[in-house]
A and B are shown apart, each in its own frame.
Chain A
Amino acid sequence: MSLLGNRWTRPEVGAAAGALLVWAFFALVAGEPFRGGDGAATYLNAAAPLGILSVAVALLMIGGEFDLSVGSIIGVAGMSIMLLTVHFGWSVWPALLVTLVFCLAVGLVNGLLVVRTGLPSFIVTLGTLFILRGLAIGVTRQLTGRTQIGGLDAVEGFESARVLFGSTFVGGLRVSILWWVGSAALATWVLLRTPVGNWIFASGGGPAAARRVGVPVGRVKIGLFVTTAFAAYLVAVTQALRFTGADALRGELQEFRAIIAVVIGGTLLTGGYGSAVGAVFGALIYGMVQQGIVLSGVDADWFQVFLGVMLVVAVLFNHRVRDMATRATPREGGGEPT
């Protein structure tokens, strides 16, 4: 079952323990407001969009690449939906579909650029980050003179789309939590149970070795960029429907939060090792710290201090895990293998 021999070295173990610790800490410090259902709803709701994004970004990072453009895709997708509906008078569903196609195309372009040019994805997607953010602001301003557009609730098809993407189901929990859990389950299944999952690990862990045995590394990576773009799209849709509008700046810095959540979740920055479940815990920790601080009545500025500490601890832990995984263990008995 395990990627590594020892069960405790599974990538998500550290993050799961961390999540438990963070929960216990705030349950103690913030007390009932955090422990109760309302508290749980607030940190789960806060974590869900980041969680959706992080699961996809985890796959991509395991595959050895970064996507810094996801935050901008959130912004551009939201604006695309709002422009098509409110400005051009489309109904909600066609706007969602066209925006989906656009986002997938962006992911495809990201992937093709990275794979064809061989340039670091960090640089390529940094470029896309600016291009898309600029487009979101520029085009929207050109067309409407604003960068915030509201009024989606008056558009035909809003109610049916809202049920699927922007509603709450039980006890104030948002439907985005279901998308989060669903995407995490799917990603875990792909990663651990399918050949494609094996190729993702290999594309990040040893692309040259993978190519030698016939793994289509380029196609795997392109597919992963399309996946992160899709996750960003999904976040944009849930937010547009919940807030009945969009802001060209939405999603700013979300790419780094996703990377933080993924790294806290035990995925190596260098690729080849990690898990989608870990990213779930990473996002959960992020949400719990963010909301826990509010619920404790402490100035939210402390959130960043916490986050920084968590990040450093996670990276140190992961570094240790990789050392253990890659170091040849000296054995007694010479050639006698285990």
Chain B
Amino acid sequence: MTPRYRARNRVPVRAKRVVGPLLLAAVVPLAACGPAREGSGAAERATPARADLRIVVATHGQSADPFWSVVANGARAAGRDLGVRVEYQAPVQFDMVAMSNLIDGVVASRPDGLVVSIPDGAALGPSIRAAVAAGIPVVSINSGDEVYRDLGVLLHVGQPEYDAGLGAGRRMAAAGIRRALCVNHEIGNVSLDRRCDGFRDGLAEAGGDIRLLAVDLADPDDAQQRIAGALAVDPDLNGLLTLGPTGAGPALAALGESGRLGRVAFATFDLTPEVAAAIDRGSMDFAVDQQPYLQGYLPVVALVSYLETLTLPGGGEILKTGPGFVTQEDAARVLELAEQGLR
């Protein structure tokens, strides 16, 4: 996947939440965490007791994001289950320079294991190589399936984007869709481009074709207008795929307003409670789920396994967490889990 949700969009919300206990809240957790880590230095890494293991998850999405909160929950659950310390870190906005700085900082703090997402291999490569060179075992998640081997990363846990797009395209083609709109909410994100490519090829197998539409989710009204516009100018469109759940809301509204809800097959990448509810209602056909919970949980398990026994799952291949498809059949159950932040 790789929803590059931009922190910018959420800043006001988060700011509101913390305005009250501003200083106190900022200082207390810092003070609480500082000395606790003293024992996990590099010197002791040779014979780590499990409670001393410290694994840092550094991704490009904040834990307050719907998607990344599930990843973070998965990682934390694994930490709890295995009895190791898990920290979740992300830069305040999608910014590879900031993220490389973040990884550099994490490496300087000498964790026992590092989990990273690699949305831009060229930009993050030097920082990740530095981690590997420092002897820190690294597992990549979510994005980076093409570069992880070259960077010395042990294992990649995620969903191959092209395959996921291909799967979605085939599914739509099987339902008779021949002309579909692919809504890209983050121009410039290579992973999203590959989803669209797969989608195109999946439809093309049945003789179908796609149109690409770029929208800016900083302005959902504008996104909705653009989608509505694209639907209006092309009456032959009978399929619509958004590349992330945040694009699904405006798309749903646009479909509803143009009266084509139900006449246009509608699917999205990634799952949120809203998406699950829409599928349950029948407003959406399916969601391509990369199962973010596993993207948090599995790398922690893999790293602990590696640290203690030098064993790794996956056989050197990508450990696939998707694509899974959520349809109306299981939507109700998934919705329950999504509301708990587990799907």
Contact B101 A45 (CB under 8 A): yes
B110 at interface (Cβ–Cβ under 8 A)?
A: yes
Complex: A120 Cα to B123 Cα, angstroms: 36
A-facing residues in B1-45 (Cβ within 8 Å) = 8, 11, 14-15, 18, 22-23, 25-26, 29-31, 33-35, 37-38, 41
Contact B38 A31 (CB under 8 A): yes
Given contacts A244-B122, A300-B102, A305-B22, contact A33 B93 (CB under 8 A): no
B-facing residues in A280-320 (Cβ within 8 Å) = 290-291, 293-306, 308-309
A8 at interface (Cβ–Cβ under 8 A)?
A: no
**Which of A32, A148, A239 touches B41 (beta carbons < 8 Å)?**
A32
Complex: A32 Cα to B120 Cα, angstroms: 30
Contact A291 B15 (CB under 8 A): no
B64 at interface (Cβ–Cβ under 8 A)?
A: yes
Given contacts A29-B34, A298-B30, contact A250 B96 (CB under 8 A): yes
A198 at interface (Cβ–Cβ under 8 A)?
A: no
Q: Which residue on A lies nearest to B40, using beta carbons?
A: A297
Main secondary structure of the interface of B (DSSP, over half): helix
B94 at interface (Cβ–Cβ under 8 A)?
A: yes
Binary CB contact string for chain A from 208 to 249 against chain B (1 if under 8 A, 0 otherwise): 000000000000000000000000000000010011110111
Q: Which residue on A lies nearest to B110, using beta carbons?
A: A33
**Which of B8, B15, B33, B101 touches A298 (beta carbons < 8 Å)?**
B33
B274 at interface (Cβ–Cβ under 8 A)?
A: no
Contact B87 A297 (CB under 8 A): yes
A30 at interface (Cβ–Cβ under 8 A)?
A: yes
Given contacts A29-B31, A244-B122, contact A300 B188 (CB under 8 A): no
Residues of A contacting B64 in the complex (Cβ-Cβ under 8 angstroms): 301
Interface size for B (C-beta < 8 A) is 56
**Which of A46, A239, A302 touches B104 (beta carbons < 8 Å)?**
A46
CB distance from A323 to the nearest CB of B (A): 25
Given contacts A42-B105, A295-B109, A305-B26, contact A243 B33 (CB under 8 A): no
A-facing residues in B180-232 (Cβ within 8 Å) = 187-188, 190, 193
Q: Which residues of B contact A (CB under 8 A)?
A: 8, 11, 14-15, 18, 22-23, 25-26, 29-31, 33-35, 37-38, 41, 54, 56, 62-64, 87-98, 100-102, 104-110, 120-123, 125-126, 130, 187-188, 190, 193
Among all A-B residue pairs, the 7 with the closest Cβ atoms: A147-B188, A294-B105, A150-B122, A46-B101, A38-B108, A29-B34, A245-B122
Q: Which residues of A contact B (CB under 8 A)?
A: 28-34, 36, 38-39, 41-43, 45-46, 49, 137, 141, 145-148, 150-151, 172, 239, 242-245, 247-250, 252-253, 290-291, 293-306, 308-309
